[in-house]
């Protein structure tokens, strides 16, 4: 989100036909935090932030 051009591109790709249905943000986030045991030995997965990848509304 801090890199406006990359964030815009990510949202654009996510909204291509057929992509949105294949993305499971909860799974991606859980895998990221649990697999990095050297950085996150307790395995805590944060609840937020909630990410909106819809291009229907601007942030």
Q: How far apart are the first and last CA of the chain?
A: 9
Kindly state whether residue 15 falls inside one of the protein's structural domains: yes
The number of folded domains in the chain is: 1
The tens digit of pLDDT for each residue in 8-49 reads: 999 999 999 999 999 998 999 999 999 988 989 999 999 888
Residue 21 is predicted with a pLDDT of 94
Kindly state whether residue 57 falls inside one of the protein's structural domains: no
Kindly state whether residue 18 falls inside one of the protein's structural domains: yes
| pTM for this entry | 0.67
Position 56 confidence tier, pLDDT thresholds 50, 70, 90:
confident
Instruction: Cite the DSSP H helix spans in 1-59.
Output: 4-14, 25-35
Cβ–Cβ contacts within 10 Å for residue 40, how many? 13
Domain that holds residue 31: 4-35
Kindly state whether residue 44 falls inside one of the protein's structural domains: no
């Amino acid at each position: 989100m801090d890199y406006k051009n990359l964030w815009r591109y990510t949202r654009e790709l996510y909204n291509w036909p057929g992509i949105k249905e294949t993305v499971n943000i909860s799974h991606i986030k859980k895998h990221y935090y649990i697999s990095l045991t050297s950085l996150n030995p307790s395995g805590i997965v944060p609840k937020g932030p909630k990410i909106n990848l819809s291009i229907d509304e601007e942030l």
